[in-house]
Amino acid sequence: MNVSSSSGNSTSNASLAGKVVLVTGASSGIGQATARACVEAGARVGLIARRQPEIKELAAALGGPNGQAVALAADLTERASVEKAIDQAIRNLGSIDVVIHAAGTNIRERALNVLTAEAWEHMLRTNLTAAFHLTQVIVPRLRGRGGRIIYISSYAVQRPDASGVAYQASKHGLVGLAHGTMIEEKANGIRTTVIFPGLTDTPLILKRPVPTPPEVLAKALQPSDVAAACLFVAALPLRAHVPELQIVPAEV
């Protein structure tokens, strides 16, 4: 796993000094870039992912002598695993201020005429039910703190494409989860945001049934671009709320 930062990929001057941020899907792609951006902005960060070796390596790379990053191995599709990770985060980092849910997946056999019922269930469990578990467990810990939850959805929700019906249905579901949570919890100071990235050069690209042409991929967003959007929302003053934010390649 390459955890080194790329030149020219600095996210912004936003500050999260003194904040505790949890990032799911932190072992690669958008999650990893977002975790890095949050540490650089001064936050203490909990790295949540199933792949324990990768997040341990990332925590070691980002933590430094002050231990600003903590690896929290968890399977978000299992409620008990989510509860254990959140409890561990609070013990190691303190009260939680921001949660950025970047975990998700897709499959190659995604078209309706080849999608199996088992694959459909897997996609919903991984992309939506996991987000539900995380939300329901974390909300009580965010009440009264001006807590924010940022969900990474997909531009396919805004502009349907060939990413597959299960992927699109699950990413649409994140929008309902986010906005429903906001309505129920805004009186408790909780704010939710859905970010809709367009084509981004992440490992998820490798799961496309047809490889993305190199000339198209060269114009894609980088994970650090989406991380910058997350950081912008996370660092806003409590009086400001961004319900939804699109970020797409300028030339694709």
Residues marked as catalytic:
153, 167, 171
Q: Which helix H or strand E contains 167, and what residues bound it?
A: helix 165-185
- State the alpha helices, DSSP H only, in 11-78: 29-40, 52-63
CA distance 128 to 170: 5
Q: Which two tokens stand for residue 214?
A: 């190199």
Q: How far is CA 206 from the centre of its chain?
A: 19
DSSP strand pairing (98-101 vs 69-73): unpaired
Q: Residue ranges of the alpha helices (H) in 26-145?
A: 29-40, 52-63, 79-93, 117-124, 130-142
Alpha-carbon distance of 7 to 14, in angstroms, equals 18
Q: Is the dihedral of CA 127, 130, 136, 140 positive or negative?
A: negative
End-to-end CA distance of the chain: 28
The whole-angstrom distance between residue 231's C-alpha and the CA centroid of its chain comes to 11
